[in-house]
Structure 1
């Protein structure tokens, strides 16, 4: 029991001294000019350059998957043709900026999509445990895609499509 307590203490203390917490994240302000799908959009920066942004920590239904159009519409209603603040976490292999997206007095788009039931918490790429709490509540309340008791996560949908093509 003492070992577990010590390990826990070291983990907590380590987070206070972790240099990665002090890294300055890039903040980009711009106007949303196109919605690709529920979790991806194009942003026109103040210097007139166009970038593609992928909303961090979540995954919305894929095209042709149930609730895909509703997720895209939710994102469009929330941010299309509006100014947003993008907190860049990294770039992905496709050159998209993976980012936290803030709009309307600091609303977090990831959390709003999950709360409405139009996105999964993408646990594989996320350390934001608050998103899981929000998803669990949306599931219990059968919001959005959680009305379907057999909802298929987008990463499983993509994997199934890829496996079907191989056969």
Structure 2
């Protein structure tokens, strides 16, 4: 918390810039004004060009002229040789191949050294969620407790979209055990 007296030391233009930029928030309680330095300020994220689609939930971007393999967080797409595996891969390709995307991640990598991330398209849509919403991926509950993905999967199941149009779709984690 920034002491209220600091407002008298900061030029008003700087204070207004910080408030408008969400760097400092301003609240009033019982006539007292408090200015709080925000810990989770949002900065523009770098974008990366998608240069290869490996399958429905794995692709490659260029980062500093080096290839970086990315695995979609929260979801699991059908395998290539599984029903809807090719459609999931094509959907991802149609949405982002050759385009710039933004990655939201926590610097976590899986055992295959793939960065685990959510993918934001140039128009702001979340590609991970689009895959689930269109019935081209499961919510990977083993690694994700995100209720938004669970809800999107339920909606796709109810509408029998994509893989949910199959009589008995097999989850990819079970398919891989075959």
Q: TM-score, normalised by structure 2?
A: 0.73
Q: TM-score, normalised by structure 1?
A: 0.77
**Alignment RMSD:** 1.6
Of the two structures, which has the highest relative contact order with CA contacts closer than 8 Å and spacing of 6 or more?
Answer: 1
CA distance in 1, matches of 2:135, 2:122: 20
CA distance in 2, matches of 1:106, 1:128: 19
2:68: which partner in 1? 51
Unaligned runs of 5+ in 1: 1-20, 162-167
2:85: which partner in 1? 68
1:81: which partner in 2? 98
> Is contact 2:96–2:121 with CA below 8 Å preserved after alignment?
yes
2:126: which partner in 1? 108
Return the match for 1:136 from 147, 154, 173.
154
Offset at 1:88?
Answer: 2.0
Aligned residues: 136
Larger radius of gyration: 2
Higher helix share: 1
C-alpha distance 126-28 of structure 1, shift in aligned 2 (>3 A): farther
Residue pairs, 1:9-24, within 5 angstroms: none
Unaligned runs of 5+ in 2: 1-38
